[in-house]
Structure 1
Amino acid sequence: MRRYELAGRRDIRLTGDAPVPEPGPLEVLVRVRACTVCNRSDLAYYHYYGLREHCAQGCFGHEIAGLVEAVGPGVTRVAPGQRVFVRTPLSTGYAEFALAREVSVGALPEEVPFEQGAILQLLPLAVHATRGVRLGDRVAVVGQGPVGLMALRMAALRGASHLTAVDLDPWRLERSALLGADATHRVDGSREQLLGVGAQFDVAIDAVGTPGTLNACVELVRQNGLVVLLGTHHIDTHVTVDLVTWERKGLRVHSSAEPLDTARAEALAVAERLARTRELYLPVLLTHTYALDDLPKAMEQMSASRALYPDGEPAPYDGPPRETLKVAIVP
């Protein structure tokens, strides 16, 4: 089969005769119909392979939708021919086939195109990130990339009374309004502008993953408020926080991680249910589609991003890629 592999820093290689994986116990082989580029993990792995230890450990190309090709012993939830999306596969989705654990595979409705269905990989993250949002909460989401927009949508579905979206890019903030934001704030990334968004939010979600955005969320929430770490700190892996402020405000904190298979299965069930509705606005999130052979072009387009450079260091870009959210790769 044809498959791209991350071989080194900014080095991806296409193989034409890679072996097709064989599913073992409780594993599923998926014929990939689309794999979207992860705006944080895939790009961080691509640019920091060999410079950050974890960038050689994650799965490059993990947002997949396709058809079940075969199942291993013990699989009961899906069957060959079924349309599915995959959350955290065992092998890359930049290929004609990918392997996944059964617990990571969700049913994809017929009415959802594969290119949009691959985006559903983000939904369990947004489900976990917003699990502390209560009916009537005032919520701020800092960062309006795909995962931030998904979290915004989930917070709305959980009954937030007011949603504030924050980003560097006015085009992305227009998307935020489509997905339910009551207020949008364009900032330049400086602490002063971030704090000018307001205060006394019940929940502040950091959907960027930089020291600056995390510490801004600490300032944005009220006493005993909730700070959520949704953005992945792949670039700035060590973040300094003022623990006196955290203690004085009595803040709560959680991440979007799925530490147990039970939590993974629960979030996947929610994702399956929501996928059958029109509540996720997936067409808004998908902005580009490339053939598998053109993955290098897609990576080049997505790499025009300020988020790929450490906080506070000079960068050739002042924001995200222009008018770009999710990019789908189609074998």
Structure 2
Amino acid sequence: MRRYELVGRRDIRLVTDVAVPEPGPSEVLVRVRACTVCNRSDLAYFHYYGLREHCSQSCFGHEIAGVVEATGAGVQRVVPGQRVFVRTPLTTGYAEFALAREISVGALPDAVPFEQGALLQLLPLAVHATRGVRLGDRVVIVGQGPVGQMALRVAVARGAAEVVAVDLDDWRLERSSAAGADAVRRVDGSAGQLAAVGADFDVAVDAVGTPTTLNACVGLVRQNGLVVLLGTHHVDTHVTVDLVTWERKGLRVHSSAEPLDTARAEALAVAERLAHRRTDALRLPDLHTHTYPLDELPKAMEQLSASRALYPDAEQAPYDGPPPETLKVAIVP
């Protein structure tokens, strides 16, 4: 089969004679029909391979939709021929086939195209990240890239009384309004503009993952408020915070990571129900903006790399924001 491999910094290579993997116990082999590029992880791995240790240890190409080709011993939730999306695979989705644990595979609705189904990988992540949002809460989400957009949709579904979406880009914020944001705030990314977004929110979600956005969220929440780490700190892996402020405000914090299989299974189950019963509310077509064939993965990486988020917070970047009119890019074998 054909498969792209990340072999060095900004170096991906198409291999055409890779053996199709065989599923072991509790594993599922998926014929990939689409794999969306992760705007944060995949791009960080691509640009920081060899510079950040974790960038060579994780799966490059992990947002998959396809059809179950075969199952290993003990698999019960899915069967060959079934349409599925994958939360986190064992092998890259930039290939004709990918291997995943059964616990990471969700049922894909028939009405959802594979190119949009692949980005459902974000849904269990958003479900888990927003687990602290309660009915009637005031929520601010800093960053309206794909994962911030999905968190917005889930916060609305959880019954937040007010959701404010914050971003550098007016085009993205238009989609935030259409998805249910009560208000949108266009900022330039500076601490001053972020601080002016408001105050006394019950929950502040950092869907970017920079020192500036994390510390801004600390200022936006009320006493005993909740700060959610949703945007992964792939670039600035060490972040300085004022612990006196955290202590005085009595803040709570949690990440979006699912450290245990029980949490992973719970989030995936909720995501499956939302995907099947609230498909229209997810507005997946708004998130899927481009499609490339597998051979053109380098072109997709080039397009998505025109982003301010790929540079350290304190470094002068050649871009003021995200790539224009771009959210999720799907790669199709």
Residue 208 of structure 2: aligned partner: 208
Residue 9 of structure 2: aligned partner: 9
Tell me, what secondary structure is at the counterpart of 1:42?
helix
Residue 308 of structure 1: aligned partner: 310
Question: How many Å separate the matches in 2 of 1:128 and 1:26?
Answer: 23
Give the counterpart of 2:283 among 278, 281, 284.
281
**1:312 positional shift:** 1.6
Letter in 1 for 2:38: C
Q: Which runs of 5+ in 1 are unaligned?
A: none
Residue 149 of structure 1: aligned partner: 149
Residue 179 of structure 2: aligned partner: 179
Question: How many Å separate the matches in 2 of 1:257 and 1:76?
Answer: 25
Identical-residue share of aligned pairs (%)? 83
Compute the TM-score of the two structures, normalised by the length of structure 2: 0.99
Residue 138 of structure 1: aligned partner: 138
Kindly report which structure 2 residues correspond to 1:19-30, keeping only aligned pairs within 5 A, or say none.
19-30=19-30
Residue 75 of structure 1: aligned partner: 75
Deviations along 1:149-178, whole A, 9 cap, x unmatched? 000110000000011000011111111101
**1:217 positional shift:** 0.1
**1:321 positional shift:** 0.7
Residue 248 of structure 1: aligned partner: 248
Question: How many Å separate the matches in 2 of 1:312 and 1:108?
Answer: 41
**1:102 positional shift:** 0.4
Tell me the C-alpha RMSD between the 2 structures. 0.5
Kindly report which structure 2 residues correspond to 1:99-248, keeping only aligned pairs within 5 A, or say none.
99-248=99-248
Tell me, what secondary structure is at the counterpart of 1:34?
strand
Question: How many Å separate the matches in 2 of 1:152 and 1:310?
Answer: 25
Question: How many Å separate the matches in 1 of 2:86 and 2:169?
Answer: 29
**1:279 positional shift:** 1.7
Runs of at least 4 residues of structure 1 off by over 6 A?
Answer: none
Question: How many Å separate the matches in 1 of 2:167 and 2:49?
Answer: 27
Question: How many Å separate the matches in 2 of 1:144 and 1:316?
Answer: 20
Deviations along 1:290-320, whole A, 9 cap, x unmatched? 0000000000000000000000201110100
Letter in 2 for 1:167: D
Letter in 1 for 2:286: V
Residue 269 of structure 1: aligned partner: 269
Residue 53 of structure 1: aligned partner: 53
Residue 92 in structure 1 maps to residue 92 in structure 2: yes
Question: How many Å separate the matches in 2 of 1:127 and 1:8?
Answer: 33
**1:188 positional shift:** 0.6
Tell me, what secondary structure is at the counterpart of 2:164?
strand
Tell me, what secondary structure is at the counterpart of 1:106?
strand
Question: How many Å separate the matches in 2 of 1:262 and 1:222?
Answer: 31
Residue 321 of structure 1: aligned partner: 323
